[in-house]
Amino acid sequence: MSVVDRLAHPIVQAPMAGGPSTPELAAAVCDAGGLGFLASGYRSAAQTRDAIGAVRERTGRPFGVNVFVPGDPTVDQRELSRFLERLRPEAGRYGASVGAARFDDDDWQAKLELLSADAVAVVSFTFGCPPADAVGSLHDAGSEVWVTATTPDEARLAAEAGADAIVLQGVEAGGHRGAFLDGDEGEAFGILALLRLAARDVDLPLVAAGGIPDGAGVAAVLVAGAAAAQLGTAFMCANEAGTDPAQRRALQSERPTRLTRAFSGRQARGIVNRFMDELSDGAPFAYPHVHYATAPLRAAARERDDPDGFNLWAGQAHRLCRDEPAGEIVRRLASEAQEALRR
């Protein structure tokens, strides 16, 4: 029986790298009967180990850890340089400097070793399909391997690579698109169409993500064939989340979202702000180079509580997220879902 079948509520808290995901959030979700997740993205293996320890101090329940699959270090240097020039006045505005635009693999090998030596219930992957040896050693350690897919093709590839479940991410989702490649060719599927297509192709538990704001949305994806719903934005205003105050205010506004490469060099959905308006056009395919280049600017804007200068990741239905303890959110989602199914 898979992890998702053993949950009291078919609700997964999405890993949200860059601040919102905390051990407190993951533990609270687990204790309420959902599946909490840690985001190892932008953290070293050592920091990830500490965060895992912090969850275990708070709960004995199963939880997951998300890992970024490293991409291709090759970028168009001319396009990248041109973009870095455009970042300079932006940095000046906040009294910051543009960071070094470098590649790294987000401590990939060390994280795999950590997670193979000391297993958690689920290891999920984003930005690509893990290689067979990685899947094998995590299986040997006793973990389930979940892979994020944004198209039916990616879902099929993940199934062939030995995944135990597929996280289907619709275009509605906040934060980075988890596509295997960050091209413009990949079709931007809405979650409902993606779920119905993947359900025909893949005989694995499907975890549906993307713009699911409430229990009626959870019930809808379950009816459409998902084994569980994964929600990120719905947990961003949770008391236990590490979400920045300026971002919390923006999340509860009516402001529109869109996809942009301006903050990180990879497509991600956030609430439209000045930075996005001014820098999205021509932002290069250069992840994580652009992420590191903008990091000091974003930190300085956060410091000044200025929501126009950093990434306000949010899914399309962000307006419906609520300031509540995470456990309350899980219980509310579950009871709303029950109610929607009864109607």
Distance separating alpha carbons of residues 145 and 221, to the nearest angstrom? 21
Q: Say if CB 293 and CB 88 are below 8 A apart.
A: no
Q: Name which of 173, 302, 318 is nearest 255 in CA terms.
A: 318
With respect to a second copy, which residue has the nearer C-beta, 78 or 343?
343
Pairing mode of beta strands 206-209, 165-169 = parallel
Q: Pick between residue 6 and residue 196 the one whose CB is nearest to a second copy.
A: 196
Cis peptide before 288, with omega less than 30 degrees from 0?
yes
Which positions lie near a second copy, rule CB under 8 A?
170-172, 185, 187-194, 196-197, 199-200, 210-214, 216-217, 219-221, 223-225, 256-258, 315-317, 319-320, 340-341, 343
Dihedral pair phi/psi, residue 268, rounded to 5°: -150, 150
Give 110 or 341: the residue with its C-beta nearer to a second copy: 341
User: In whole angstroms, how close is the CB of 128 to a second copy at the nearest point?
Assistant: 20
- Least distance from a second copy to the Cβ atom of residue 314, Å: 11
Cβ neighbours for 260, distance < 8 A, ≥ 6 positions apart? 267, 268, 269, 270, 276, 279, 280, 283
Residue with Cβ nearer a second copy (273 or 316): 316
| Side-chain half-sphere CA neighbours of 103 within 13 A | 13
- Nearest to a second copy of 118, 160 (CB atom): 160
